[in-house]
Amino acid sequence: MAFDLTIKFAGEGGEGVISAGDFTMRAATYLGLEVVTFKSFPAEIKGGYALSQVRMSDEKILSQGDGFQILFAFNGEAYEVNKPLLKPGTVLVWDGPEGGDFEPEFDWLEKQGVIAYAVPMSKLAREEVGAYITKNMVALGAASELFNIPIDVYKEQIVSKFSKKGQDVVELNFRALDAGINWVKNNIKKVDPYRLPERMPRKDVIILEGNEAIALGAAVAGCKVFAAYPITPATTVGNYLSEIILKANGYVYQAEDEISSMAIVIGASFSGVKAMTATSGPGISLMQELIGLASMAEIPAVIVDVQRGGPSTGMPTKHDQADLYAAAIGGHGDGQRIVIAPTNVEENFYLTIEAFNLAERYQCPVLFLTDASLSLRAEAIPTPNIKEIQSKLINRPLITKDMNVDPNEILRYKVTETGIAPMLAPGVSPKPYAATGLEHGEDSSPRTSPDVRTRMMEKRFRKLKNIEDENQHLLEWDLGDLQEGEKADISVIAWGLTASITKEAIQRLRKKGYKIAALYPKLLYPVPAKAIEKIASMSDITLVPEANYTGQFARFIRMYTNVKPVQFNIYRGEPFIPAEIEAKIEELVGNKVKVNA
């Protein structure tokens, strides 16, 4: 039986539950465990309900899981919100018996079979340590003693995170850890079975958060210009990049708005360098006109959209998968765009590199749809082989002066069989060209004749005609032990973070004997119609779970294929949990809903 434990810290924004979760994640990784974190907090800097959850296992973890075994409730709100999730055997560590703002209903807890330990986190922080802000470290001291979490890693984290605040802050936090440890030693009799294992052989992994993985991917892909306007939850992509690409002759620019950011990316890419921006929903809305320019002028550009709850300001820190329409078809006119989406932190890294490869190859904007939950999620991923990745990077076909090409023969927008023509860059190429948003002829001069318009429109669309066939690696098939020609009970198509959650649900169902065919497309647009029709043909029911109201990918499927999927939508600002998808599949298979028969 695999070790699989989830510890949740919940309290008020400003009480340090995020740091408590991060420190615990590091401790688990130090022990050699796999980790997946889930964090959620309000848009306010202080106040409101915040949580940080760490799932750890000695086996590969696919999702944040269904719930938790251990809850640290820092205040009454955290207790109330999580009360419905307290199951028999769950451990509740609460801020009491004195100094906190609540007391749990002991009779109810007992009846439920919940194990409750009182640790006066607030009181010890205030009275014994003398600093309320160290409440989270009192909790971690208690956690270390109760659940065998290595205290040395907590101490290292205190030094690494708080040294910049002064040695006295570090010392206070050490004292807070001790206060938590001593309280448990002197007051609590452990009756739960949860203990982290002893240290296992170290794995060759690096710990990355979602946005950090995007930044690293961009740097490895050779991104030299990053321009963005700060917006939650995308801002940290630029923060991380500024630490990396400045050292590699790169350039990070905080623009005055998203329109300007996108214009900078287009300008930089026109000049011959790889360029990227990162934003969230409202920023994508503002960039639409410029994304159209990148399509029309055939300029490679990578646009990261860290989706959040919309429309408008919506829910800036919350999960949503509802920018697919905006990413794929949000602009006016018929433009070429590629939309891809990662399903976990590791793919945030590898697919960012892929986004640059696609942009360079097809000379168009590539929209990278990640999301708020994934932006903050931490995973330990196998250390990438940077040299090997870089040896396979795709770079645009550029005509340079040393190629001795007759300038009179060069046509930037030459009509070719693939639609793709060699590119030019100022100073590097033997000839300049005008990259314009106006319709143009092969030589780039503005033209509006019906003949030119028709030929150029067809040329641009030809570039993406075979994108599905040319990028099979962007389609992840998961057929389990289905034999050739064997019918599945159900087919499932899932994208983005929902795909990794779906995978866990499907693993559980296969153990129960269900036959399931699944497709996790990373390429969302142009819609991979052949793969979708194939997976749907393997069963009588096709399910598409998505964290949006309208079922945006399911509707694209209806638009571009003959498949009529069953939609399963949530829109509550939180991702699915595997149990929901598991239950939905069981319900559909049980009812034998034959939708696309």
Shortest Cβ distance from residue 138 to ligand COA (Å)?
9
- What x/- string results for residues 278 through 317 when contact with ligand COA is judged by CB under 6 A? --------------------------------------xx
Residue environment code for 393-413, b if the CB has 16+ CB neighbours within 10 A, otherwise e: ebebeebeeeeeeeeeebbbb
Helix (H) or strand (E) holding 305: strand 301-307
Nearer to ligand COA, 158 or 287 (CB): 158
Shortest Cβ distance from residue 100 to ligand COA (Å)?
17
Instruction: Tell me the DSSP string of 22-53.
Output: HHHHHHHHHTT-EEEEEEE--SSSSSSEEEEE
DSSP state of 592: T
Contact region with ligand COA (CB under 6 A), list: 134-142, 246-254, 447-455, 468-476: 134-142
SS (H, E, C) 454-508: HHHHHHHHHCCCCHHHHCHHHEEEECCCCCCCCCCCEEEECCCHHHHHHHHHHHH
Nearer to ligand COA, 50 or 420 (CB): 50
**From 7, 13, 104, 517, residue interacting with ligand COA (rule: CB under 6 A):** 13
Nearer to ligand COA, 287 or 372 (CB): 372
CA distances from 411 to 3, 95, 444 (A): 62, 71, 8
Contact region with ligand COA (CB under 6 A), list: 90-98, 129-137, 535-543, 582-590: 129-137
Nearer to ligand COA, 162 or 525 (CB): 162
Shortest Cβ distance from residue 165 to ligand COA (Å)?
6
CA atoms within 13 A on the CB side of 353: 20
Whether the upstream peptide bond of residue 365 has omega within 30° of 0, thus cis, is no
Residues between 229 and 258 that touch ligand COA (CB under 6 A) = 232
Instruction: Tell me the DSSP string of 281-293.
Output: HHHHHHHHHHHHH
Structure tokens at 514: 């269900």
Contact region with ligand COA (CB under 6 A), list: 16-24, 113-121, 386-394, 521-529: 16-24
Question: Which class for 586: exposed (0-12), middle (13-18), buried (19 or more C-beta within 10 A)?
Answer: middle
Nearer to ligand COA, 75 or 336 (CB): 75
Nearer to ligand COA, 15 or 442 (CB): 15
Structure tokens at 324: 């697919």
Question: Which class for 516: exposed (0-12), middle (13-18), buried (19 or more C-beta within 10 A)?
Answer: buried
Contact region with ligand COA (CB under 6 A), list: 113-121, 132-140, 199-207, 531-539: 132-140
Nearer to ligand COA, 281 or 365 (CB): 281
Nearer to ligand COA, 15 or 145 (CB): 15
Nearer to ligand COA, 154 or 495 (CB): 154
Handedness of CA 447, 449, 450, 455 (dihedral sign): negative
Shortest Cβ distance from residue 489 to ligand COA (Å)?
42
Shortest Cβ distance from residue 29 to ligand COA (Å)?
18
Binding residues for ligand COA, rule CB under 6 A, total 22
Q: Are strands 523-525 and 338-340 parallel, antiparallel or unpaired?
A: antiparallel
Shortest Cβ distance from residue 208 to ligand COA (Å)?
18
Residues between 142 and 181 that touch ligand COA (CB under 6 A) = 162, 165, 169, 173
16 contacts ligand COA (rule: CB under 6 A): yes
Nearer to ligand COA, 73 or 524 (CB): 73
**C-alpha closest to that of 64 among 86, 39, 38:** 38
Contact region with ligand COA (CB under 6 A), list: 10-18, 423-431, 442-450, 467-475: 10-18
Contact region with ligand COA (CB under 6 A), list: 15-23, 182-190, 272-280, 331-339: 15-23
d(CA 340, CA 326) in angstroms, rounded, equals: 13
Give φ, ψ of 338 to 5 degrees.
Answer: -115, 135
Structure tokens at 457: 């429109």
**From 53, 136, 157, 498, residue interacting with ligand COA (rule: CB under 6 A):** 136
Shortest Cβ distance from residue 151 to ligand COA (Å)?
15
Give φ, ψ of 557 to 5 degrees.
Answer: -60, -45
Shortest Cβ distance from residue 174 to ligand COA (Å)?
11
d(CA 252, CA 66) in angstroms, rounded, equals: 39
Residues in Cβ contact with 114 at an 8 Å cutoff, skipping those fewer than 6 apart = 86, 87, 88, 89, 90, 91, 92
Shortest Cβ distance from residue 592 to ligand COA (Å)?
45
Nearer to ligand COA, 129 or 223 (CB): 129
Shortest Cβ distance from residue 549 to ligand COA (Å)?
22
Shortest Cβ distance from residue 244 to ligand COA (Å)?
20
SS (H, E, C) 135-153: HHHHHHHHHHHHHCCCHHH
Q: Are strands 378-382 and 566-569 parallel, antiparallel or unpaired?
A: unpaired
Length reported for the chain? 597
Which residue bears the tokens 């209903």? Answer: 105
Nearer to ligand COA, 50 or 364 (CB): 50
Shortest Cβ distance from residue 5 to ligand COA (Å)?
21
Residues between 17 and 56 that touch ligand COA (CB under 6 A) = 17-19, 41, 43, 45, 50
**From 33, 133, 324, 492, residue interacting with ligand COA (rule: CB under 6 A):** 133
Shortest Cβ distance from residue 195 to ligand COA (Å)?
25
**C-alpha closest to that of 348 among 507, 237, 184:** 237
d(CA 445, CA 51) in angstroms, rounded, equals: 56
- What x/- string results for residues 67 through 106 when contact with ligand COA is judged by CB under 6 A? ----------------------------------------
134 contacts ligand COA (rule: CB under 6 A): yes
Contact residues toward ligand COA (CB under 6 A) are 13-19, 41, 43, 45, 50, 133-134, 136-137, 162, 165, 169, 173, 232, 316-317
